[in-house]
A and B are shown apart, each in its own frame.
Chain A
Amino acid sequence: MKWMIDVDRLNKNFFLHTQGEAKIPVFRDFHMKLKPGESIALVGPSGVGKSTLLRLLYGNYKTGSGKILVHHNGDVLNMAGADPHMILHIRKWTIGYVSQFLRVIPRVPAIQVVMEPLTVRGASEKEVRPRAEELLSRLRIPERLWSLSPTTFSGGEQQRINIARGFSATYPVMLLDEPTASLDPVNSGTVVEIIKEAIGMGTSIIGIFHDEDVRNRLASRCVEIQPVNNHTK
């Protein structure tokens, strides 16, 4: 396997039909490859399309044209235009994603939020609880909060729940959108450790890391995203 993900001639525009048919071009003929074991940091000015790229790779945004090839379950599949059922399967087993913000579900306790990626794979709560508890402890979420819904948690607490959730299961590929953004240095350090462990276990990573220090510690190379207008080549 020469690559885990192969992005080929990717184009993406947003069309805002309700706002005077505005067109926002984000990618034109963009390409990149993620090799096994690699850890790529996306760089570029704000609004250039870093988060958009991660969301395209995760199937959250719809690809305009081009291919996003993924090795999944022994096959090569194109994320762009894949059947939703297939995308869900890829998300369950192959590509993990830690978004910038936790999307909380009312009344679901934090510990359950963290265990979910494992339980949807068919494991019992009993089997996976130790892993969830380990992550929550390491991320310094007080035990009394575990059984509460994160709805009322602080921004930083929510983000740590989000990270625990993202890393409870292991995936061949992880997409990380500013995982340490709203964290203090101590917790930020823990997150870096957790990510490093995942890399050590063979996970390839594409991430957006604002913090230069974090980026230096995690990234094996950087990919710079160019604004479309100045985009040459």
Chain B
Amino acid sequence: MCMKNSDDIPLLKVESISKYYGRRIGCLGIEFELWPGEALGIVGESGSGKTTLLNCISGQLEPSEGAVWYSSNGGVIDMCNAPEPQRRLVMRTEMGTVYQNPRDGLRMHVSAGGNIGERLMANGLRHYGQVRRRALNWLEKVEIDQERIDDTPDTFSGGMQQRLQIARNLVTRPRLIFMDEPTSGLDVSVQARLLDLLRGLVTELDLSMVIVTHDLAVTRLLAHRLIVMRGGKAVESGLTDQVLDDPQHPYTQLLVSSILQP
């Protein structure tokens, strides 16, 4: 055990990202750094720009202003201006996205095994037996009965679909994962199980994560740091426990006081 120096470089550096939809503001001047192994929560009311921000930093939406620097295995790249092949390669090997709606993140008519195997095969694995073994292994990891490997996700429950999305993304061992409300629309007990699973995987794989949620308890459990958004702006940001225990902005105080026990 040794105290690693903390001045190695951040995994993600977001510089003053803004996105305008015509004259409407999607998000405005957001900046933060994300370090290896760190989880960042983005909270805020509906329409506050959480998804917009997430899409901008995950390379799925081009921001109107600002820059996103990602330090990939092959060096730092400018996610907004990198050539598309390079960006997509990084996105499918080093990053992953879990969508709020499983339909956006899964191929509903492809078996669970095929869904998990897709990234492996996209990255060049050409051995059916190995694809299958790793799919089985991941089904187990995300607590889906291995016998369901040949079933399509449209026969799965909401919680299983989300867990399948997670497996599909994590199978290539990405370093950074984006999640947009991964637990909304699930029963409380199913939510808890999913969060628990995520927490374990994040530590086990040393994942970094950006998670959008409106549930402060989720951020308490998963996020090291928090950004509170309102009207497209970050009204407050900092360590999760600091933001939740000693909120500064009136809006954050309102958020925190309106829940029972964050």
Contact = CB atoms under 8 A, between A and B. Distances in A.
A–B contact with Cβ pairs below 8 Å: the answer is: yes
Interface of A: 14-18, 55, 59-62, 73, 83-89, 93, 105-108, 118-123
30 contacts: A15-B248, A17-B249, A17-B254, A18-B250, A18-B253, A59-B239, A60-B239, A60-B241, A60-B242, A60-B245, A60-B246, A61-B242, A73-B5, A73-B6, A84-B224, A84-B225, A84-B239, A84-B242, A85-B6, A88-B38, A88-B239, A105-B199, A106-B196, A107-B192, A107-B193, A108-B196, A120-B203, A121-B1, A122-B1, A123-B1
Contacts of A61: 242, 245-246
Contact of B253 (A17, A105, A108): A17
Nearest to B196: A107
Contacts of B94: none
Given A15-B248, A85-B33, A88-B224, 9 more contacts: A18-B257, A59-B239, A62-B246, A73-B3, A84-B239, A85-B38, A107-B196, A118-B1, A122-B4
Q: 3 nearest interchain CB pairs? A: A17-B250, A89-B6, A61-B246
A105 B221 contact: yes
B10 to A, nearest CB: 8
B65 to A, nearest CB: 23
B156 interface: no
Nearest to B4: A122
B238 interface: yes
Nearest to A21: B250
Contacts of B38: 85, 88
Given A86-B6, A105-B199, A18 B254 contact: yes
Given A17-B253, A85-B35, A88-B239, A106 B1 contact: no
Interface in B185-227: 192-193, 196, 199, 203, 221, 224-225
A62 B1 contact: no
Nearest to B243: A62
Contacts of A84: 224-225, 238-239, 242
Nearest to B237: A84
Contacts of B257: 18
A123 B75 CA distance: 28
A155 B224 CA distance: 26
Nearest to B34: A85
A18 B250 CA distance: 7
Nearest to B245: A60
B242 A62 contact: yes
Nearest to A82: B239
Contacts of A119: 203
Interface residues of B, number: 29
Contact of A62 (B224, B248, B254): B248
Interface centre among A16, A18, A107 (most CB of B within 10 A): A18
Nearest to A14: B246
Tell which of A15, A62, A93, A119 has the most Cβ of chain B within 10 Å: A62
Nearest to A94: B3
A228 B232 CA distance: 39
Nearest to A122: B1
A59 B242 CA distance: 7
Contacts of A15: 248
A62 B199 contact: no
B247 to A, nearest CB: 9
Contacts of B238: 62, 84
A113 to B, nearest CB: 12
B83 to A, nearest CB: 30
A139 B3 CA distance: 29
A184 to B, nearest CB: 27
Contacts of B1: 118, 121-123
Interface string B3-18: 1111000100000000
Contacts of A18: 250, 253-254, 257
A93 B3 CA distance: 7
B220 to A, nearest CB: 8
Nearest to B238: A84
A120 B35 CA distance: 15
Contact of A106 (B3, B192, B248): B192
Of listed A15, A84, A89, A107, residue having the most chain B CB within 10 A = A84
A122 B206 CA distance: 10
Nearest to B239: A84
B223 to A, nearest CB: 11
A123 to B, nearest CB: 5
A106 B196 CA distance: 7
Contacts of A105: 199, 221
